[in-house]
């Protein structure tokens, strides 16, 4: 079983704060890294799929970077809003036909 | 509307009584997968399928079966459910494999007494 680590486990911030999360994965056999957003009582929704070292992706106030050589990805949220409160999951593919391994997720709570 | 549909959404049943959770997608996706979500353990992959008649074990396949006879359907079968299979289950699909995002169903909450 591949080890995909996310930190911190949970985060409580004030509205307007910017925040970032880390996803660590094995640097060998990298194929793709996914980020998902999972709101309570809903199902996970894809944020980003990243495949190339140095990739940077952005969607509104949320952005992500990827370093495949050292095995990590950062997710940034600029100016957090209460609606950003959710669990953020990263998931790692070790090869084109491999299974998808998720991290345990990071739970973000944004106080108004 | 493009979607992944799971049924049932909720089920309470007893140990040993065979059950099937259905999953259907209307997006012509090749890749389908089942996950279970348990507190403190995150999403763990049970089985996945890259195409019709092709299935592979994920990280926690014990006690489960799947089949992929048609592209759109990927049922999860618990032949003899046990209490440790009480969990929240998600089905997901994607057009290909690793470079495509997964589309998740709404989840099925199973309680095995």
Non-local CB neighbours of A14 within 8 Å, separated by 6+ positions = A80, A110, A111
Q: Shortest CB distance from B48 goes to which of A51, A99, A104?
A: A99
Best B10, B42, B92 member to test A by mutation, with max A CBs in 10 Å, is B42
pLDDT number for residue B42: 85
How close A70 comes to chain B (CA, Å)? 20
**Tokens coding A94:** 């070790």
Determine the pLDDT at residue A98.
73
The alpha-carbon gap from A1 to the nearest alpha carbon of chain B, in Å, equals: 7
CA torsion, ordered A69, A76, A95, B21, to nearest 10 deg: 160
Cα A4 from chain centroid?
11
- pLDDT tens digit sequence for B47-64: 999 999 999 999 999 999
For chain B, the average pLDDT equals 94
pLDDT, tens digit, 9 for 90 and up, residues A5-62: 998 889 999 999 999 999 999 888 888 999 999 998 899 999 999 999 999 999 999 9
User: What DSSP letter does each residue of A7-52 carry, written as one string?
Assistant: E-SEEEEETT--EEEEEE--STT--EEEEEEE-TTS--EEEEEE-S
Q: What is the mean pLDDT of residues B89-110?
A: 91
Measure A51 CA to nearest chain B CA, in Å. 7
What's the pLDDT score for residue B97?
A: 66
CA distances from B59 to A62, A75, B64, B106 (A): 30, 26, 12, 21
CB contact under 8 A, A51 and B98: yes
Q: Kindly determine whether residue A46 and residue B50, on different chains, have CB atoms separated by under 8 Å.
A: no
Inter-chain touch B45–A104, beta carbons under 8 Å: no
| Buried b / exposed e along A72-100 (16+ C-beta atoms within 10 A) | bbebebeebeeebbbbbbbbbbbeeebbb
Indicate the burial class of A23 (C-beta count within 10 angstroms; 0-12, 13-18, 19 or more). Answer: buried
Q: Which chain A positions have a beta carbon within 8 Å of B41's beta carbon? A: 104
Which DSSP helix (H) or strand (E) runs through B10?
A: strand B10-13
Chain A residues in contact with B59 (beta carbon < 8 A): 1, 99, 101
């Amino acid at each position: 079983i591949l080890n995909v680590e996310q930190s911190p486990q949970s985060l409580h911030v004030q509205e307007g704060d910017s925040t970032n999360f880390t996803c660590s994965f094995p640097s060998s056999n990298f194929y793709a890294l996914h980020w998902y957003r999972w709101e309570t009582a809903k199902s996970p929704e894809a944020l980003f799929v990243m495949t190339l070292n140095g990739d940077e992706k952005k969607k509104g106030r949320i952005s992500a970077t990827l370093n495949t050589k050292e095995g990590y990805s950062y997710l940034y949220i600029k100016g957090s809003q209460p609606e950003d409160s959710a669990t953020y999951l990263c998931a790692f593919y070790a090869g084109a036909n491999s299974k998808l391994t998720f991290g345990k997720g990071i739970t973000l709570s944004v106080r108004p | 509307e493009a979607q992944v549909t799971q049924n049932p959404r909720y089920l309470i049943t007893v140990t040993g009584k065979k059950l099937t959770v259905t999953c259907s997608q209307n997006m012509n996706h090749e890749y389908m997968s089942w996950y279970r979500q348990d507190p403190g353990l995150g999403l763990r992959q049970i089985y996945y399928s890259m195409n019709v008649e092709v299935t592979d074990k994920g990280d926690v396949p014990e006690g489960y079966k799947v089949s992929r006879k048609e592209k759109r359907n990927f049922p999860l079968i618990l032949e003899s459910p046990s209490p440790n299979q009480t969990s929240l289950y998600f089905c997901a699909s994607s057009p290909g494999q690793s470079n495509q995002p997964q589309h998740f169903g709404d989840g099925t909450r199973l309680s095995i007494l």
